[in-house]
């Protein structure tokens, strides 16, 4: 058996790769050759380690030394000093306030997280099924299909209290129960990997970093509801995720973990992939089903819900990537383990992509119910350049802003809803005093206008009218009564749009009006943008 004294994990997430990870890796490999170390040092590509802002990242075992912001020119020193002589290169370690944190587990950004969905991300070779199996991979599937009845699996997931991580938070166990009770000999399980919120990349990171966890979750779901075929609907803009998934499916088939008579039982299941062309609305389940069927990606009225009449009219359960990736842990460690994490009504963890005006942006996983302050200040390291926190946007174009006075809000489904926002899929955009709330609302409305499929009038026409009003306000042409118009239209669209996209589209506007009405008023009455973001017509005229 080959022994490597050093295991080097290069973060293979899209951010680290695009920050120059590949060129660093190729110089590193050249240097290893030069020093005759290729026999002693194993270099593998892992999934996203999370601290994307600090990339390219590299983790060196056995000691777990973390190097960050690597440039190809750093490779020579790391090999000659650390790999050859055991002298760690301090200047490339994670440093905060002059204090270096040599290992990953010491860094505050990582130390405060709880990883269930991302349990293997960044810690195993993302392209190796053996490494996934070493990390207890496929043990939950084995347990489910050899020791449990489908109804037991449903009961366990139901008892865990896990809720859909795609945004709406529907109880997963209940969805599976409905799927299992639906009659028909053909049923489907679909993995919704059509992640489209601006700034959100949780699902992509799971698919890139631990694709087998999603396949295993799908197989367990299929067993629970009685499906033989699964589909993964992933957007074509995620080439690395697609590549890793295809590879994972091939490996799982070769081992017989997908296919007929899995682990010698009568359970048969296989997975196909379908690529989406990037329409935001296709993340809505009925539009997604249309798209898989080769039809135009437009939603339809519910009911009928997909659990009764979904893909090709057959009962279909659609779960999000993150939900499916947490299923193996629930079955392997038991629902009690899962329930102990998070809050009573929202058990478990949630992955967020932390973006915007925060010191350490990246991918994090925390127990549900963690106060927003802890996420932004303790994990994210606070606001850069001594600026003040103004608000955090959760739920992307469907969500709302949590202002300073609610910074201690626990981040769970109920608390966010109470503030007029939603959990959403996990995008978390931090804004400081230089961000204009009207401008932010306009940005998201522009996104919705672009992405509205046009099928129903409230969404097609209404969001456009709201956008026009916002544009007018940010140009200094706002009039008395515009805020009230925005509120009235927002409420009307919310209650009349056909699907989730339209029903949630006014949220960013309504929520910023609720907490930052004075900013809207300043734009309209004083013709001033308090944050100095909007180019107001009046101001421009004065200057000229």
Partner 1 sequence: MPKINTLDDLKKLRESAQAALKTRAAEAKARVRVSMGTAGIAAGARESLKALMGELEKHSFCDLQIVEDPTLGPDKNEPIVCVERDGFVTQYVKVTADMARKIAAQHIVNGQAVSEWAVARSKK
Write out the DSSP string of 242-255.
HHHHHHHHHHHHHT
526: contact with partner 1 by CB under 8 A? no
Beta bridge partners of 430: 356, 392
464: contact with partner 1 by CB under 8 A? no
20: contact with partner 1 by CB under 8 A? no
What is d(CA 268, CA 189) in angstroms, rounded to the nearest whole number? 13
CA distances from 361 to 46, 200, 355, 418, 426 (A): 19, 12, 5, 26, 13
What is d(CA 112, CA 153) in angstroms, rounded to the nearest whole number? 31
CB contact at 8 A, 463 and 449: yes
CB-based contacts of 469-473 (< 8 A; 24+ apart in sequence): 470/438, 470/441, 470/442, 470/445, 470/509, 471/442, 473/438, 473/520, 473/523, 473/524
DSSP structural state of residue 305: P
| Rounded least distance, CB 323 to partner 1, Å | 24
86: contact with partner 1 by CB under 8 A? yes
Handedness of CA 208, 209, 212, 218 (dihedral sign): negative
Comparison of 86 and 294: residue with beta carbon closer to partner 1: 86
Beta bridge partners of 191: 232, 319
Binding mask 23-62 for partner 1 (x = CB under 8 A): -----------------x-x------------------xx
260: contact with partner 1 by CB under 8 A? no
223: contact with partner 1 by CB under 8 A? no
Choose one: 137-145, 347-355, 407-415, 503-511; the region binding partner 1 (CB under 8 A): 137-145
263: contact with partner 1 by CB under 8 A? yes
| Rounded least distance, CB 99 to partner 1, Å | 22
Q: Which of 80, 89, 133, 309 binds partner 1 (CB under 8 A)?
A: 133
What is d(CA 33, CA 43) in angstroms, rounded to the nearest whole number? 12
Q: Which of 33, 90, 111, 134 binds partner 1 (CB under 8 A)?
A: 134
> Segment 311-330, which members bind partner 1 (CB under 8 A)?
none
Number of residues lying near partner 1 (CB under 8 A): 33
Quick one: which of 475, 306, 284 has its CA closest to 398?
284
Q: Which of 22, 30, 106, 136 binds partner 1 (CB under 8 A)?
A: 136
1: contact with partner 1 by CB under 8 A? yes
Q: Which of 43, 80, 84, 240 binds partner 1 (CB under 8 A)?
A: 84
| Rounded least distance, CB 125 to partner 1, Å | 9
What is d(CA 95, CA 108) in angstroms, rounded to the nearest whole number? 11
257: contact with partner 1 by CB under 8 A? yes
Contacts of residue 18, defined as CB under 8 A and 6 or more positions apart, other chains included, come to none
Q: Which of 146, 414, 454, 479 binds partner 1 (CB under 8 A)?
A: 146
Choose one: 125-133, 214-222, 412-420, 455-463; the region binding partner 1 (CB under 8 A): 125-133
Angle 169-170-171 (CA atoms, 0-180°, nearest 5)?
110
Q: Which of 184, 239, 256, 278 binds partner 1 (CB under 8 A)?
A: 256
Q: Which of 33, 34, 71, 87 binds partner 1 (CB under 8 A)?
A: 87
What is d(CA 227, CA 530) in angstroms, rounded to the nearest whole number? 56
| Rounded least distance, CB 300 to partner 1, Å | 41
* Contacting positions for partner 1 (CB under 8 A): 1-7, 40, 42, 61-63, 84-87, 123, 130-131, 133-134, 136, 138-139, 142, 146, 251, 254-257, 263-264
């Amino acid at each position: 058996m080959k022994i490597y004294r050093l295991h080097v994990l290069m973060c293979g997430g899209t951010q680290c790769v695009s920050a120059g990870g590949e060129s660093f890796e190729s110089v590193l490999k050249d240097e290893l050759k030069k020093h005759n170390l290729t026999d002693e040092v194993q270099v593998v590509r892992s999934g996203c380690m999370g601290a994307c802002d600090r990339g390219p990242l590299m983790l060196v075992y056995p000691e777990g030394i973390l190097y960050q912001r690597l440039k190809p020119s750093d490779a020579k020193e790391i090999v000659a000093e650390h790999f050859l002589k055991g002298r760690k290169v301090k200047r490339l370690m994670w440093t905060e306030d002059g204090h270096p944190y040599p290992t990953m587990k010491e860094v505050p950004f990582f130390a405060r997280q709880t990883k269930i969905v991302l349990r293997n991300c960044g810690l195993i070779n993302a392209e190796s099924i053996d490494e996934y199996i070493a990390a207890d991979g496929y043990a939950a599937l084995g347990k489910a299909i050899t020791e449990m009845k489908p109804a037991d699996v449903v009961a366990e997931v139901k008892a865990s209290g896990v809720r859909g991580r795609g945004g709406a938070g529907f109880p997963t166990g209940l969805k599976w129960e409905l799927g299992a009770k639906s009659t028909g000999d053909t049923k489907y399980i679909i993995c919704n990997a059509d992640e489209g919120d601006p700034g959100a990349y949780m699902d992509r990171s799971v698919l890139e970093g631990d694709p087998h966890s999603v396949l295993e979750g799908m197989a367990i779901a299929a067993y629970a509801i009685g499906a033989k075929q699964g589909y993964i609907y992933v957007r074509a803009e995620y080439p690395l995720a697609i590549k890793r998934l295809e590879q994972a499916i091939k490996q799982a088939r070769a081992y017989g973990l997908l296919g007929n008579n899995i682990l010698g039982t009568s359970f048969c299941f296989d997975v196909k992939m379908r690529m989406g062309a990037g329409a935001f609305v296709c993340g809505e389940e009925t539009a997604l089903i249309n798209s898989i069927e080769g039809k135009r990606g437009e939603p339809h009225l519910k009911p009928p819900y997909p659990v009764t009449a979904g893909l090709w009219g057959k009962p279909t359960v659609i779960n999000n990537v993150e939900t499916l990736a947490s299923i193996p842990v629930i079955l392997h460690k038991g629902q009690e383990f899962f329930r102990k994490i998070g809050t009573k009504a929202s058990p478990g963890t949630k992955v967020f992509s932390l973006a915007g005006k925060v010191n350490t942006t990246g991918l994090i996983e925390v127990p549900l119910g963690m106060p927003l302050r802890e996420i932004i200040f303790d994990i994210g390291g606070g606001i850069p350049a001594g600026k003040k926190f103004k608000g955090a946007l959760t739920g992307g174009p469907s969500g709302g802003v949590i202002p300073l006075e609610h910074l201690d809000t626990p981040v769970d489904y109920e608390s966010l809803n109470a503030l007029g926002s939603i959990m959403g899929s996990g995008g978390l955009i931090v804004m400081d005093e230089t961000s204009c709330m009207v401008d932010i609302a306009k940005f998201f409305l522009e996104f919705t206008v672009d992405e509205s499929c046009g099928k129903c009038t409230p969404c097609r026409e209404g969001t456009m009218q709201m956008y026009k009003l916002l544009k007018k306000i940010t140009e200094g042409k706002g009039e008395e009564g515009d805020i009230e118009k925005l509120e009235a239209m927002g409420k009307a669209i919310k209650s009349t749009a056909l699907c989730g996209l339209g029903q949630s589209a006014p949220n960013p506007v309504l929520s910023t009006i609720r907490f930052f009405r004075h900013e809207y008023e300043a734009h309209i009455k004083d013709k001033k943008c308090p944050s100095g973001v909007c180019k107001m017509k009046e101001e421009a005229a004065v200057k000229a």
